[in-house]
Structure 1
Amino acid sequence: MNKTIFNISKMDCPSEEQIIRMKLQNITDVKSLEFDIPNRQLIVYHNGEAGTIFSTLDALNFGTTLISTENSESTFENESSESQRKLLWTVLIINFSFFAIEIIAGVIAKSMGLVADSLDMLADSIVYGLALFAVGGTLIRKKNVAKIAGYFQIILAAIGFIEVVRRFIGIEEIPEFRTMIFVSIVALAANIICLYLMQKNKSKEAHMQASMIFTSNDVIVNSGVIIAGLMVHWFNSNYPDLIIGAIIFVIVARGAYRILRLAK
Structure 2
Amino acid sequence: MADSCCASACGSEMAKADPRWRRVLWVALIVNAAMFLVEMVAGAAADSRALQADALDFLGDAGNYAVSLAVVGAALSWRARAALLKSLFMLGFAGWVFGSAVFAFMSGTSPDPAMMGAVGALALAANVGVALLLYRYRTGDANMRSVWICSRNDAIGNVAVMLAALGVFGTGSAWPDLIVATIMAALALTGGLQVFRHAMAELKAAPAAVEQA
From 152, 156, 169, the equivalent of 1:233 is: 169
Q: d(CA) in 2 for partners of 1:113 and 1:31?
A: 36
1:195-234 correspondence to structure 2 within 5 Å:
195-198=131-134, 217-234=153-170
Q: d(CA) in 2 for partners of 1:257 and 1:126?
A: 18
1:25-174 correspondence to structure 2 within 5 Å:
25=8, 27=9, 80-122=17-59, 124-125=61-62, 127-168=64-105, 170-174=106-110
Q: d(CA) in 2 for partners of 1:126 and 1:256?
A: 15
Structure number with greater Rg is 1
Q: Deviations over 1:5-27 (max 9, x none)?
A: x8xxxxxxxxxxxxx89x934x3
Q: Deviations over 1:209-242 (max 9, x none)?
A: xxxxxxx543332121112112212211111100
* Higher normalized contact order (CA 8 Å, seq sep 6+, divided by chain length): 2
1:176 paired to 2:112: yes
SS in 2 for 1:263: helix
Checking the alignment, whether the CA contact within 8 Å between 2:42 and 2:51 is kept in structure 1 is yes
1:249 paired to 2:185: yes
Identity among equivalent positions (%) equals 30
Checking the alignment, whether the CA contact within 8 Å between 1:127 and 1:259 is kept in structure 2 is no
How many pairs were matched up? 185
Q: Deviations over 1:233-256 (max 9, x none)?
A: 221111110000111011112222
From 118, 121, 139, the equivalent of 1:185 is: 121
SS in 1 for 2:107: coil
Q: d(CA) in 2 for partners of 1:105 and 1:248?
A: 18
Checking the alignment, whether the CA contact within 8 Å between 2:50 and 2:177 is kept in structure 1 is yes
RMSD: 3.3
Unaligned runs of 5+ in 2: 138-151, 201-213
What displacement does 1:123 show?
A: 5.1
1:24 paired to 2:24: no
- Bigger mean CA deviation after superposition, 238-247 or 138-147: 138-147
TM-score of the aligned structures, taking structure 1 as reference length: 0.59
- Bigger mean CA deviation after superposition, 237-246 or 227-236: 227-236
CA 1:233–1:103: 2 relative to 1, 3 Å: same
Match of 1:36? none
Q: Aligned letter for 1:231?
A: G
Q: Aligned letter for 2:174?
A: N
CA 1:119–1:259: 2 relative to 1, 3 Å: farther
Q: d(CA) in 2 for partners of 1:260 and 1:200?
A: 21
Q: Deviations over 1:119-159 (max 9, x none)?
A: 44345445544543442113343233333332233223212
TM-score of the aligned structures, taking structure 2 as reference length: 0.71
Q: d(CA) in 1 for partners of 2:53 and 2:21?
A: 29
Checking the alignment, whether the CA contact within 8 Å between 1:103 and 1:115 is kept in structure 2 is yes
CA 1:150–1:173: 2 relative to 1, 3 Å: same
Q: d(CA) in 2 for partners of 1:235 and 1:243?
A: 13
Match of 1:39? none
What displacement does 1:199 show?
A: 5.4
Name the structure with the higher strand share.
1
Match of 2:206? none
Match of 2:148? none
